Structure 1
Amino acid sequence: MKKFISTLFILHLSMYVAFAHLGSVVGRVIDKSTKQPIVGATIVVADSKKGATTDATGFFQINNLEPNTYRIEVSFVGYSAQNQLVIVKEDESVNLEFGLSESQVQLSEVKVSASNPQHQQVISSLDIKTRPINNSQEVLRIVPGLVIGQHAGGGKAEQIFLRGFDIDHGTDIRLTVDGVPINMVSHAHGQGYADAHFIIPELIEGVDFKKGLYDTDKGNFATAGWANFRTKTTLEHSFAKAEVGQFNTYRLVSGVNVLKTKQHNVYLAGEYNYSDAYFEAPQNFNRINLLGKYHGHLTQNTNLTLTASTFWSKWNASGQIPDRSVADGSIGFYGAIDPNEGGETSRTNVNAELVTLTKRNHVWKNQFFYSNYNFELYSNFTFFLVDPVNGDQIRQKEGRNLWGYNSNYSIGHAIGDKQATFNTGLNYRHDLTNGSELSRTKDRTQLLEAIKLGDVNEANVGVYVDETIQLSPRLSATAGVRFDYFNNQYLDKLQNNTKFKANAAIVSPKLNVYYTYNPNVQLYVNLGKGFHSNDTRAVVAQNGLEILPAAYGSDLGAIWKPFPRMLLNASYWYLWLNQEFVYVGDAGVVEPSGKSVRKGVDVSMRYQLSKKLFFDLDANWAKPRAVGEAEGQNYLPLAVNFTSVGGLTLKTEQGFSGSLRYRYIGNRPANEDNSIVAKGYFVTDALVNYSKNRFSVGLSVQNMFNTQWKETQFATESRLQNETEPVEEIHFTPGTPFNAKLSISWQF
């Protein structure tokens, strides 16, 4: 491995050529009001083809400029554009800072250029404010083609669907917040379990995302894609907000600036939620979030951000109910067979981020994080199938400590007369669980049988390098490679504390190429190799299971601006997995599956109808199939075939804003031969807000036409207490009926 990295580094040095008599422009782009960096702003040297985009620190660099006077233009959607005249001298760097002011969003400001190929893949705070959102997990619905579904009263992580995957709760999508992992490896409920409810929605500055496995700095879980929540570094104003809704729902949230100077900022925030929800059995849902954040300039070029947060949630759940019980009138559509489900969970996080701009204008990012996590869940999916007397309630429980370190070093340089950026980085993560448990229980108190009980010790280290080069005014490319190593250990407390071990490594090359045909059309090709990681309890048992089965993906797409106010993005994608064995946390077994192939088409449109009115549409088709199975027997259960979301968004200068949106999911197979079908749905949501001075009032409505729909569905074999034979059919959790919520907020 050392030889491999050394070879790459020497190759890079051999390509690094310093040209005399050329200058450069470096600088930062910040929000004029908050003084915080703007990520993804476009910087262009007027009357030339050179340009750049800002990174996570707001930093940019443009090299290889002949001595001359230039006009540097900066733009970002939702901000007024700026420009500055600079004089570039031989062998010198000109340092600039742009402070942009917020303005009306104009799609005409979106730039399509070789230097800015991924600008559109950002969910902004504006998107979040103009959508009906109850929690941070629902922000993910803004990712085109991503579907979520809740089936445990709001306290459990949502089920996720993307690109022909039933991702369960996170097996094949990498979720982070400020770089801290959300996914839990080898979780008591299932591999990759990702509960993002510890994030306060009002603190989300934006979400960066990308579908596919094409980024070298994204390792475990990033098969179908990845998303990183960015929380606010500072608060523009302190605020307090109260919400009240149907079904005995209320919420209080507040954020307060404790210290706000030019060099140092500290704020504290808290959130409390309660709801009985729309089920016949009250959910008694409670959630508390607390967060504190410090951001300061240790030196002129070094920033430190410290974040500490804690989260607790407790709830009851009605669980999944069978179609037959609703059809015969035994229970209502919002009823329950076993109302004694529910759970409790908590998580405490500490995160330290240090960013340094060196004297040579290199950017070095270092991050240390730690989480303490606890989880306890009671479920009953099969009712009286296994135990006709006591019922089939199960308990899944664990305690966990996880910590890690991320580092990235970025060098802007030249290869010949081409502008380039070299990145190298390290990711390390270590998880230790205590008492990862699957047990059969009764009434949440009586232990009937221990099925699984043990401790997981899992470590993952990843290193990567990549090079981005603007090959010509129209063509840019990023090529890189990633190496991952996993060390898995499991202490089985049901087998005399026997320790099982396994380890594996994998190399994943990546290539992204962007070609700008003209200022209105950009074509791109993404190619990459990744992997589908497996649960420690499965890999130590082996049984023919690949520890890190490889995944191969490609995207062929285009970004097109047919009109100044319209933006289209379309892609054809393909994904192959060598193996998809899944550890089923509900049964403590490995569910066998072989090779699979997924392919599809994603289409997105953004259109500004007027200065104040926007229209968006996403349509996503997928064809997921098992490889090697007979035609008609090769469906991948619950994988979504077609989804579409869209709507209208209004934002005026008089304080009014809002949106009217729809969500549609087509029918999909619930089992391998499509003999059981999970029915699709069409739901419409609405939101209206009015702000004046520092006060805001809002009304959000979910399912405004009161459609009866099934949010999550499973083909499950179960037996009711009065039945002699089991029945396999759709079991579901109902989606919300008409649900209105009023909010009032005050900035101070």
Structure 2
Amino acid sequence: MNSRFSPKKNAPSGLLLLFILFSNLIFAHTITGMVVDTDDRPLKDVYVLHVKTGKHTHTNAKGYFSLNDVDEGDELRFSKLGYSAFAKAITDESEVLQIVLEDAPIDLDAISLTNDVDVLNTITQADLEVNPVTSSQEVLRAVPGLFIGQHAGGGKAEQLFLRGFDIDHGTDVAISVDGMPVNMVSHAHGQGYADLHFVIPETIENISYGKGSYDKAVGNFATAGHVDFRTMDYVRENVISSEIGDFNYQRYVGLVQVLDNSNTSAYVATEYLTFDGPFDSPQNFDRINLFGKLNYISDSGNELGVSISHFDSEWDASGQIPQRAVDRGLIGRFGAIDDTEGGETSRTSVNINYDMQVSDNETFSTHLYYSKYDFLLFSNFTFFLEDPINGDQIRQRESRDLAGLDAAYTYTTQLADYKLDLTAGIRLRNDRTEGSELSRTLNRRTTLENIQLGDINETNTSGFVGATWYVNDFLIDAGLRLERFKFTYKDALTTLYDTQAQTETALLPKLNFNYRVNDDFQLYLKNGVGFHSNDTRVVLQETADDILPKSYGSDLGAIWKPTNRIIVNAALWYLFLEQEFVYVGDAGIVEPSGETERYGYDLGLRYQLTDHLFFDGNLNYAHARAINEPDGADLIPLAPKFTSTGGLSLKDWNGFNAGFRYRYIGDRPANEDNSIVAPGYFVSDLNVNYDISNNLRLGVAVQNLFDVEWNETQFATESRLQNEAAPVEEIHFTPGTPFFIRGLLQYRF
């Protein structure tokens, strides 16, 4: 169906109408209006383009927009992914436009190469519409180039790989949900630990991401990149679904809209998951998620979002196993050396966002959040290397209060008759961790020795200023960010009470360019200075002059639409780090790596073969080296060289939705001289869903369709088995899931 123009439908309130008309008297040739969907619901972030000048704007939370220097006869175009585009010729400059956009199937033809810094996110949004996520792993895999692996029974945060980084659980990628940080500073298990299992995947509406340290509004952890997941403001359809599969897999999800009127919407979502996995010792994984969100939009377009979530999880784990134990027949691929590993974790959060339209030219946003977080993990990586009698099991534990505040102001003006956005923002984050512990234990019950025990108080204050100048098809985005940290540690193992503290500051400039060559081709150059953050205990133990070592990066890229239904994106990139301090929570030690450099390329393709059939593929290459090490001994362990993801997707065809997805990672060096290699793998998944009616859906999903034998996560580890006389260093791995099928029954109302 085509979008339509409705001059009387959904008229604004009297006060707002007077404001709009008064604005038109003051600012000549200013066109204002609102955009809604067919249910009269305001549409936010609709792209409004003035065809003649190339100037553009976006609708606010109430669907309102304002665009200057529009004359009679000029054409405005309105577009938003998932809706039919609409064009309107201006016949009366004083007219308040009322635009209605109708739902439309996803079509790559609708994606415009707009002159925006984050145009790549529109492509990712299309991916998310075509391939909706249903697990925490799929949430992360939706980001092009971000590769993940799980290695502790499903309850532990995933291991991340991006741009030649083994990011562990989050050291070099900043992850947030509705602006609330997920990464945990100075975590008991490791710096930047980012556990996304508190997110119910069906609530994710869009994903905003960036690679490199180029965004002035993002600071800590964003060395390789940053990702922000946004939850939906309202539920279009209530959903109740159940999944049952192999290995005692069960998952139940509910999303219900509880309030929906012209200004306010609210919904609740729940998830329960239990799974034993393919392991000889069942992992007894059990997780429950509760989530509620309220969204209020005032008549003037100010928006308030409040969400509350609670997450609780516990599991047993078989841990990483040595290859030699499998080769000798001591255990099978899904066996264990120490099956008493496992853990439990919980997170309760309150997240508040408020966006205010101060005037036609000014916006102000504030963000408050608080999380109560608890973590307990038992691991055994070296078995009997340190203690040949009791074994090497360790316990990591912490209880954390995390609170923060963000505020940002944007002023839009003109410079040489071109749009100029001036921005400024501040951020305050405080983490207080009580009883951050690393201890040696036996069978989860007996504490043999406290290795580290203390309280952490880490405060991060930051601010940024920036300017984005739109000169026809050319964009210049410049910014400067200031980061200041205060690290405080109270060591509970010392005889005398002692508080250790240290502060450090970093100044980080950014400069980005974007050039829209034509409607189908765009070039960009991004540059920025970031930093590699450190654990509080690293800072207090190390005597390095620079305890916030910097990173320097650049991206040169292009986006091209050779046809209406093909989109190609490519980038060459480079990244230099002054230092890579790593706090190894498993051992309570510091591992500085010295200077490193990485460079490579990203290549992506989106191809809509028919109205219903889509192909997407991503190929990523990275060359990662330590600079001051001799040739042949300068490799960065576990840094991925080649990764690729993609697949075919069928969308809304005669009641069917389906997807065939693959992921590939090449062989990687597991140590500095490549004498130990982590083998790569190619794994495929399949899902097929059929809508029996408008309300009922049946589905089936298969992981590892071809039942390949693969290692999901791998490490070069020195360990000793109980009967061995000497330790051995070799690959230790978590086996990847074999052929795994599950069924879906979903009811929508």
Q: Indicate the TM-score class for this superposition, using the shorter chain for normalisation.
A: over 0.9
Q: Distance in 1 between matches of 2:34 and 2:530?
A: 33
**Residue correspondence of structure 1 range 170-569 to structure 2 within 5 A:** 170-471=170-471, 473-495=472-494, 496-544=496-544, 546-569=546-569
Structure-2 change in CA distance of 1:522 and 1:385 (3 Å): same
Residue identity matched to 2:393: Q
User: Structure 1 residues 284-293 or 685-694, which shifts more?
Assistant: 685-694
User: Structure 1 residues 219-228 or 95-104, which shifts more?
Assistant: 95-104
Residue in structure 1 matched with residue 15 of structure 2 by the alignment = none
Q: Distance in 1 between matches of 2:540 and 2:409?
A: 35
Structure-2 change in CA distance of 1:319 and 1:122 (3 Å): farther
Q: CA deviation at 1:34?
A: 8.3
Residue in structure 2 matched with residue 15 of structure 1 by the alignment = none
Q: Secondary structure at the match of 1:167?
A: strand
Deviations 1:31-65 (A, max 9, x none): 544836444x43211333222355788665533x1
Q: CA deviation at 1:466?
A: 1.2
Q: CA deviation at 1:298?
A: 4.2
Deviations 1:228-269 (A, max 9, x none): 110111111221111111100001111122221112112111
Q: Distance in 1 between matches of 2:96 and 2:228?
A: 30
Please tell me whether the aligned partners of residues 175 and 228 of structure 2 are also in contact (alpha carbons under 8 angstroms).
yes
Q: CA deviation at 1:415?
A: 0.8
**Residue correspondence of structure 1 range 717-736 to structure 2 within 5 A:** 717-736=718-737
Q: CA deviation at 1:301?
A: 2.5
Q: CA deviation at 1:98?
A: 4.3
Please list every run of 5 or more consecutive structure 1 residues that lacks an aligned counterpart in the other structure: 1-18
User: Structure 1 residues 191-200 or 118-127, which shifts more?
Assistant: 118-127
Q: Secondary structure at the match of 1:189?
A: coil
Report how many residues are paired: 723
Structure-2 change in CA distance of 1:99 and 1:717 (3 Å): farther
Residue identity matched to 2:728: V
Query: What is the TM-score of this pair, normalised by structure 1?
Result: 0.93
Is residue 35 from structure 1 mapped to residue 36 from structure 2 by the alignment?
no
User: Structure 1 residues 358-367 or 661-670, which shifts more?
Assistant: 358-367
Q: CA deviation at 1:112?
A: 1.7
Residue in structure 2 matched with residue 72 of structure 1 by the alignment = 76
Structure-2 change in CA distance of 1:721 and 1:59 (3 Å): farther
Please tell me whether the aligned partners of residues 132 and 700 of structure 1 are also in contact (alpha carbons under 8 angstroms).
no
Residue identity matched to 2:714: Q
Structure-2 change in CA distance of 1:126 and 1:388 (3 Å): same
Please tell me whether the aligned partners of residues 116 and 514 of structure 2 are also in contact (alpha carbons under 8 angstroms).
no
Please tell me whether the aligned partners of residues 576 and 597 of structure 2 are also in contact (alpha carbons under 8 angstroms).
yes
Q: Distance in 1 between matches of 2:690 and 2:382?
A: 47
Q: Secondary structure at the match of 2:187?
A: coil
Structure-2 change in CA distance of 1:133 and 1:391 (3 Å): farther
Please tell me whether the aligned partners of residues 26 and 96 of structure 1 are also in contact (alpha carbons under 8 angstroms).
yes
Structure-2 change in CA distance of 1:457 and 1:294 (3 Å): same
Residue in structure 2 matched with residue 741 of structure 1 by the alignment = 742
Please tell me whether the aligned partners of residues 30 and 37 of structure 1 are also in contact (alpha carbons under 8 angstroms).
yes
Please tell me whether the aligned partners of residues 357 and 363 of structure 1 are also in contact (alpha carbons under 8 angstroms).
yes
Q: CA deviation at 1:117?
A: 4.5
Please tell me whether the aligned partners of residues 601 and 622 of structure 2 are also in contact (alpha carbons under 8 angstroms).
yes
User: Structure 1 residues 72-81 or 679-688, which shifts more?
Assistant: 72-81
Is residue 44 from structure 1 mapped to residue 44 from structure 2 by the alignment?
no
Q: CA deviation at 1:578?
A: 0.5
Structure-2 change in CA distance of 1:525 and 1:458 (3 Å): same
User: Structure 1 residues 390-399 or 659-668, which shifts more?
Assistant: 659-668
Q: Distance in 2 between matches of 1:388 and 1:358?
A: 67
Q: Distance in 1 between matches of 2:64 and 2:512?
A: 22
Please tell me whether the aligned partners of residues 539 and 546 of structure 1 are also in contact (alpha carbons under 8 angstroms).
no
Q: CA deviation at 1:316?
A: 0.2
Q: Distance in 2 between matches of 1:343 and 1:58?
A: 46
Residue identity matched to 1:728: E
Structure-2 change in CA distance of 1:705 and 1:423 (3 Å): same
Residue identity matched to 2:199: I
Q: Distance in 1 between matches of 2:333 and 2:685?
A: 21
Residue in structure 1 matched with residue 30 of structure 2 by the alignment = 24
Query: What is the TM-score of this pair, normalised by structure 2?
Result: 0.93
Please tell me whether the aligned partners of residues 42 and 111 of structure 1 are also in contact (alpha carbons under 8 angstroms).
no
Structure-2 change in CA distance of 1:208 and 1:55 (3 Å): farther
Residue in structure 2 matched with residue 109 of structure 1 by the alignment = 110
Structure-2 change in CA distance of 1:626 and 1:494 (3 Å): same
Q: Distance in 1 between matches of 2:63 and 2:740?
A: 40
Q: Distance in 1 between matches of 2:334 and 2:509?
A: 49
Please list every run of 5 or more consecutive structure 2 residues that lacks an aligned counterpart in the other structure: 1-24
Structure-2 change in CA distance of 1:594 and 1:253 (3 Å): same
Please tell me whether the aligned partners of residues 23 and 88 of structure 1 are also in contact (alpha carbons under 8 angstroms).
no
Q: Secondary structure at the match of 2:141?
A: helix
Please tell me whether the aligned partners of residues 479 and 510 of structure 2 are also in contact (alpha carbons under 8 angstroms).
yes
Say which of 67, 84, 90 aligns to 1:62: 67
Q: Distance in 2 between matches of 1:729 and 1:453?
A: 31
Q: Distance in 2 between matches of 1:74 and 1:130?
A: 22
Q: Distance in 1 between matches of 2:645 and 2:70?
A: 48
**Residue correspondence of structure 1 range 95-134 to structure 2 within 5 A:** 96=97, 98-113=99-114, 115-122=115-122, 127-128=127-128, 131=131, 133=133
Q: Secondary structure at the match of 2:336?
A: coil
Structure-2 change in CA distance of 1:143 and 1:48 (3 Å): same
Structure-2 change in CA distance of 1:255 and 1:21 (3 Å): closer
Please tell me whether the aligned partners of residues 21 and 66 of structure 1 are also in contact (alpha carbons under 8 angstroms).
no
**Residue correspondence of structure 1 range 638-649 to structure 2 within 5 A:** 638-649=638-649
Please tell me whether the aligned partners of residues 174 and 220 of structure 1 are also in contact (alpha carbons under 8 angstroms).
yes
Q: CA deviation at 1:26?
A: 5.1
Structure-2 change in CA distance of 1:412 and 1:442 (3 Å): same
Please tell me whether the aligned partners of residues 621 and 642 of structure 2 are also in contact (alpha carbons under 8 angstroms).
yes
Q: CA deviation at 1:360?
A: 3.5
**Residue correspondence of structure 1 range 553-632 to structure 2 within 5 A:** 553-632=553-632
Q: Secondary structure at the match of 1:325?
A: helix
Residue identity matched to 2:740: N
Structure-2 change in CA distance of 1:440 and 1:79 (3 Å): same
Q: Distance in 1 between matches of 2:481 and 2:490?
A: 30
Residue identity matched to 1:693: N
Q: Distance in 1 between matches of 2:547 and 2:39?
A: 49
Superposed CA RMSD in Å reads: 2.0
Q: Secondary structure at the match of 1:79?
A: coil
Please tell me whether the aligned partners of residues 123 and 206 of structure 1 are also in contact (alpha carbons under 8 angstroms).
no
Deviations 1:643-670 (A, max 9, x none): 0111111113532111111111000100
Deviations 1:548-575 (A, max 9, x none): 1111100001111111211110000000
Please tell me whether the aligned partners of residues 31 and 70 of structure 2 are also in contact (alpha carbons under 8 angstroms).
no
User: What percentage of residue pairs aligned between the two structures are identical?
Assistant: 48
Residue identity matched to 2:81: V
Is residue 668 from structure 1 mapped to residue 668 from structure 2 by the alignment?
yes
Q: Distance in 2 between matches of 1:549 and 1:475?
A: 33
Q: CA deviation at 1:685?
A: 0.7
Q: CA deviation at 1:746?
A: 1.0
Q: Secondary structure at the match of 2:119?
A: coil
Residue identity matched to 2:41: K
Please tell me whether the aligned partners of residues 476 and 515 of structure 1 are also in contact (alpha carbons under 8 angstroms).
yes
Q: Distance in 2 between matches of 1:254 and 1:126?
A: 24
User: Structure 1 residues 624-633 or 497-506, which shifts more?
Assistant: 497-506
Structure-2 change in CA distance of 1:303 and 1:199 (3 Å): same
